[in-house]
Amino acid sequence: MPPLTTEQQVSHKLARAILAGFESMFAEFLNITLGAQSRFERAAWQEVQDAMRQRLQVYENKVELVCEAVKVIAYRELDHSDVWHRAKNDYAKRVADHENALIAQTFFNSIYGSLLGQQKIRDVHRFILQETYRPEPRSTDSILYQFTETEGIIDSLRRVLNVFPLRIPFENLERDLKAAHRVLEKINPELLTRQNDTVEFGRSLFFRNKAAYIIGRLIDPVSGEHLPFAITLLNRKNRDGDTCLYLDAFIIGEEQLSKLFGFARSYFMVDTDQPVRYVDYLCRLLPNKERFELFNAIGFIKHAKTEFYRFKVDYTKRMPATTKYVSAPGVKGMVMLVFTTPDSDYVYKVIRDRFRPPKTSNRQEVMAKYDFVKQADRVGRLVDTHEFNYLAFDRQRFSCELFEEMTSEVADSITLSGNALILRHVYVERKVTPLNLYIKDASEQALEQVIDDYGTTIKQLAAANIFPGDMLIKNFGVTRWGRVVFYDYDEICPLTDCHFRAIPKPDNEIDALSEQPWFDIGEDDVFPEQFPVFFAGHHEAKKYFDRLHHDLYGVDFWKITQKVIKSGTLVDVYPYKKEWRLKHFND
């Protein structure tokens, strides 16, 4: 074999260094994830929150370290495209049989993009678009347990629950199974008569907040039909002060399971070193969810972006030629320019070059707010955001109005290159129906329900130490399940940073009649008495809110919530209707 040239040698070194970096990143991610069971068993909820935040940092920290190493290794050859091309091919061979090859490829892209992205935008996604790098479906046997010929669904549940080696005992498993039986009687009694089903479930528990979930499905061996399910395990202290497990809910069917994996929820910690296979399996259980949503749901948010990019390219290819990007329906933002296509499930949000008054913040501050949301426990009420740098679009796909608006309003964020419009920075979010539009067409009943949920959203966010800042109804949206979520983050902050005050009484008549405030207002002051203004022009909605959530207009609600947060109490959030909790089905 002829001796290697310097360039060849550097390429091999780069491939090895990046792969070692990936393995080390993955190990750190896994170490945090594997601690989830003990945190759950010890009810160490503060640690759960800390671990969540810590895990979100692992990837970027590792990319930074590996980039520094690569700069030294590559030295003069750092920006030689031949070197990188060879490094990529070498890397591709090294990871070809890797259990998590897809995530490893994303890691290579991150390093390359971080070091050279700005100069070589088109090459950043080297591993994404080529067919050869698309995943083949693989066997999921290694991540599943299966019981065949079971004696009905409740017996299956009992067997499933006995498999997991948890350190704490059940408080009263038979009581919980009886309640699960009653749930089935209520929602689908036919299921109780089914014998001989196969029960299949993931070997790894899914942990999130204060809960652990078992995820699986029932398969009818004759028809092959299947029914996905999840079982929620919670823990509490019994009368003797010992921590015990109990079943809190039996979640049945694709729709219910899909809500568990909703885009406004925090990420699961899944006790596995085979996350890609778990996503393959979840795709089977939830065929209406995209792969990127599922990678995201289990915390692989960087790789989720790779998958999103692939989804977006495929989606754009399928879009009829007449479909154009247009401004998102609703009231235009003063801070964000938001666009979508009418059929798309996603919106793209670009920070405006200049903010319209009265907004006084700047780009960095807005980005910091979006970052705050990424780290927060979103309690099912904050739409998740995916931040992209250098996301390319076909320029012809923009409507004339939108293109004009973009070139004047977000010029700092776009690069035009041939047919491409490249967004240097953009957030992608799931599209919901803005609440102000939703209530226009809502029936009386739907209006009451959604306004009740709007108030509940504010209360749940408050309990999770989040104050939305701008609570105008146009800043909230409604999901396809009719659930209210918040999406305008430029004024969001920890609730404990706010200073809730009653409006001082005026000293004299001139003050009382003045349109300007007659008292000093601090930067963090909030006056709940002024909240009715959020309903400007929506009298009917206000009527329901006044009746259902009047407490939000008073200072007491907010101060008491702050006190509870400061005492270290962590809110209970159930990603299913409270009526479905098994305790309602006990004797």
Ligand X SMILES: Nc1ncnc2c1ncn2[C@@H]1O[C@H](COP(=O)(O)OP(=O)(O)OP(=O)(O)O)[C@@H](O)[C@H]1O
Residues annotated in a binding site: 328-334, 349
d(CA 67, CA 81): 16
**Which 3 state secondary structure label does DSSP give 93?**
helix
Site string for ligand X, 456-495 (x = CB under 6 A): --------------x---xx-x---------xx-x-----
Query: At its nearest, how many Å lie between ligand X and the CB of residue 429?
Result: 4
Of 328, 406, 422, 466, which lies in the binding site for ligand X, with binding defined by CB under 6 A? 328
Give the span between the Cα atoms of 71 and 353, in whole angstroms. Answer: 33
Give the torsion sign (CA, 138, 144, 148, 151): negative
Smallest distance, Å, CB 433 to ligand X? 7
Max alpha carbon distance in the chain (Å)? Answer: 96
Q: Cα 17 vs. chain centroid, distance in angstroms? A: 31
Q: Whose Cβ is closer to ligand X: residue 98's or residue 474's?
A: 474
Does residue 431 interact with ligand X by CB under 6 A? yes
Q: How far apart are CA 185 and CA 187, in angstroms?
A: 6
Q: What is d(CA 303, CA 438) in angstroms, rounded to the nearest whole number?
A: 33
Q: From the CB of 552, what's the least distance to ligand X, in Å?
A: 19
For 224, the token pair is 């092959």
Among positions 117, 330, 494, 554, the unique one binding ligand X when judged by CB under 6 A: 330
Segment interacting with ligand X, rule: CB under 6 A, options 175-183, 325-333, 447-455, 574-582: 325-333
Task: State which residue, 197 or 384, has the beta carbon closest to ligand X.
Answer: 384
| Cα three-residue angle 163-169-172, rounded to 5 degrees | 100
Q: Which of residues 98-157 bind ligand X (CB under 6 A)?
A: none
Give the residue, chosen from 87, 336, 447, 458, that forms a contact with ligand X under the rule CB under 6 A. Answer: 336
CA separation for the pair 324, 428 (Å, rounded): 17
Annotated binding site for ATP: 328-334, 349
Q: At closest approach, how far in Å is the CB of 434 from ligand X?
A: 4
Name which of 262 and 333 has its Cβ closer to ligand X: 333
- Compute the Cα dihedral for 380, 383, 113, 105 and give only its sign: positive
Q: Quick one: DSSP state of residue 412?
A: G
Residue with tokens 């959030």: 573
Cis omega (within 30 of 0) for bond into 358: yes
Q: What is the residue whose two structure tokens read 């009746």?
A: 547
- Given candidates 102, 338, 435, 495, which one binds ligand X under the rule CB under 6 A? 338
Applying CB under 6 A, which of residues 179, 264, 383, 571 lies at the interface with ligand X? 383
Q: How far is the CB of 412 from ligand X (least distance, A)?
A: 16
Which of 63, 160, 247, 347 touches ligand X by CB under 6 A? 347
Angle, CA 319 vertex, CA 313 and CA 321 arms, to 5°: 120
Quote the least distance from Cβ 530 to ligand X, whole Å.
Answer: 16
Count the residues of the shown chain that bind ligand X, applying the rule CB under 6 A.
23
Which CB, 228 or 477, lies closer to ligand X?
A: 477
Q: Residues in the chain, how many? A: 587
Pairing of strands 198-202, 211-219: antiparallel
Residue span binding ligand X (CB under 6 A) among the ranges 66-74, 117-125, 332-340, 573-581: 332-340
In the range 485-544, which residues lie near ligand X by CB under 6 A? 487-488, 490
Whether the Cβ atoms of residue 82 and residue 7 lie closer than 8 Å to each other = yes
Strand partners, 146: 200
Residue closer to ligand X by CB (options 152, 330) is 330
Segment near ligand X (CB under 6 A); pick from 330-338, 500-508, 536-544, 551-559: 330-338
The interface mask with ligand X, positions 163-192, x = CB under 6 A, is: ------------------------------
Least Å from the CB of residue 328 to ligand X: 4
Whether residue 221 is preceded by a cis peptide bond, meaning omega within 30 degrees of 0, is: no
Pairing status of strand 336-340 against strand 326-327: antiparallel
Residue 428 pairs in a beta bridge with 348, 386
Least CB distance to ligand X at residue 167 (A): 41
Query: In the window 349-368, what residues touch ligand X (CB under 6 A)?
Result: 349
The interface mask with ligand X, positions 411-430, x = CB under 6 A, is ------------------xx
- Identify which range of 202-210, 220-228, 265-273, 335-343 contacts ligand X by CB under 6 A: 335-343
**Shortest CB 259 distance to ligand X, Å:** 17
How is residue 233 written in tokens?
């395990």
- 3 versus 357: smaller Cβ distance to ligand X: 357
User: Cα torsion for 491, 497, 502, 505, to the nearest 10°?
Assistant: -90
By C-beta, is 101 or 326 nearer to ligand X? 326
Q: Which residues are catalytic?
A: 384
Q: Which of 469, 282, 504 is nearest to 360 (CA)?
A: 469
Stretch (H or E) spanning 292: helix 291-297
Q: Report in angstroms the alpha-carbon separations of 330 from 56, 236, 338, 373, 473.
A: 32, 45, 10, 22, 11
Which residue lies nearer to ligand X by CB, 124 or 350? 350
Residue among 390 and 438 whose Cβ is closer to ligand X: 438
Region from 200-208, 294-302, 323-331, 561-569 binding ligand X, contact rule CB under 6 A: 323-331
Q: Token pair of 43, please? A: 């009810």
- Cβ contact 393:325 at 8 Å: yes
Interface region with ligand X, contact rule CB under 6 A, candidates 241-249, 329-337, 508-516, 527-535: 329-337
Binder among 113, 216, 434, 468 for ligand X (CB under 6 A):
434
Euclidean distance between CA atoms 488 and 412, whole angstroms:
21
Radius of gyration, alpha carbons of the chain: 26
Binding site for ligand X (CB under 6 A): 328, 330-331, 333-336, 338, 347, 349, 383, 429-432, 434, 470, 474-475, 477, 487-488, 490
